[in-house]
Amino acid sequence: MKHNFGAGPCILPQAVFKQASEAVLDFNGLSILEVSHRHKDFVAVMDEAIDLTKKVLGVPDGYSVLFLQGGATLGFTITALNMMREHKRAAYINTGTWSSGAIREAGKVGIEVLEIASSQDRNFSYIPKGIVCPDDVDYLHFTSNNTIAGTQFHDFPKAKHLVCDMSSDIFSKEINVADFDLIYAGAQKNLGPAGATLYIVKDEVLGKSTSQFMPTYMDLKKQADKGSMLNTPPVFSVYTAMLNLKDLQAHGGVKEKQKQNDAKAALLYQEIDSNPLFEGTVAKEDRSKMNVTFKLTDESLKEEFDKNWKSADIVGLPGHRSVGGYRASLYNALEIDSVRVLVEVMKEFARVKA
């Protein structure tokens, strides 16, 4: 079995892959790929996925959970359209590629974006601190984990109307959903296969947009009223996400995952900091526990190091094409033993080069 450190789509539990594959051949006598989304058996799957999301994350009453399509990228637009109020102005924190995308798309639908904090000056290698949200904005948007740069908010900013793209760290740790008006996340990290996009939205928010333009699909009120079935949902992705949430719940939920994720990240960062051949690429206090970014201190060793980790059955380690170096993604389903294999490759490389 390969050790998949890919950033997404990514590893899911093997038991989930097995159950999902079985349903491709037999889901109550049909394939999950051919069943009607209106059939009571699939409606029950959707209900269960929603219910498990609420239980696992501790979603309080007064919130709706939706499984839509379009990825987090469409979420940038859906968020802006649904959160637009009288000011038609919003505060955004720019911590990398995905925040920049959210800013760009909000501008396109008529939101005046106030970039109230940014880490662009140092290539997104840190999380801005001391953020104060102005009063005269409709909402504050931030990205909790920066999948490409490898930084993460360990303390969330505060605002009256808080919106977060949690694509790459949702379900990795405990969160207080009540602090947010809207959370959204593409499924393809800790939730399930690509195709579904999760929205957790405060019911008070629904139907209050001041936007002149609101495509039916993007109207979260209409989607909530139809139980995410306004059109055909991504059936297989929702089914597999449901299996994965069940698996997560059966293994101690996000509390237990958080402990394991902390241990995995600590192990790898400890090696990066103690091994003279490697260095981390972001501010220590803002390091992501999901996407660990690092590089060689001597780039001329790249070819040799790449050969070593590849021969240890490691895949998905190269950094994003926009930053280079390496990125080890430690999502929920990645076992600590896989991190041990990578650490051993790094140690052995240092021994050989000493």
Q: Which residues bind ligand PMP (CB under 6 A)?
A: 8, 71-73, 98, 143, 147, 165, 167-168, 186
Residue 169 CB, shortest distance to ligand PMP, in Å, is 8
- Rounded Cα distance, 182 and 199, in Å: 7
Going by their DSSP bridges, the two strands 3-4 and 314-315 should be labelled as parallel
Contacts of 298 (CB under 8 A, 6+ apart): 277
> Which residue is associated with the tokens 């402990």?
259
- Give least dist CB 185 to ligand PMP, A: 8
**Closest C-alpha to 37, from 182, 230, 211:** 230
**Cis peptide bond upstream of 9, omega within 30:** yes
Residues 6+ apart with CB under 8 A from 22: none
Residue closer to ligand PMP (CB basis): 294 or 331: 331
The Cα–Cα gap between 48 and 60 comes to 17
Query: What is the smallest separation between the CB atom of 161 and ligand PMP, expressed in angstroms?
Result: 20
Q: Which is nearer to ligand PMP, 71 or 319 (CB)?
A: 71
Least separation in angstroms between residue 21's CB and ligand PMP is 23
Name 95's Cβ contacts closer than 8 Å, sequence gap at least 6: 118, 119, 124, 127, 128, 142, 143, 146, 149, 151, 153
Cβ at position 68, least distance to ligand PMP in Å: 11
Looking at the Cβ atoms of 186 and 233, the one nearer to ligand PMP is 186
For residues 245 and 187, is the Cβ–Cβ distance under 8 A? no
Residues annotated as catalytic are 98, 165, 189
Nearer to ligand PMP, 98 or 278 (CB): 98
Residue with smallest beta-carbon separation from ligand PMP: 71
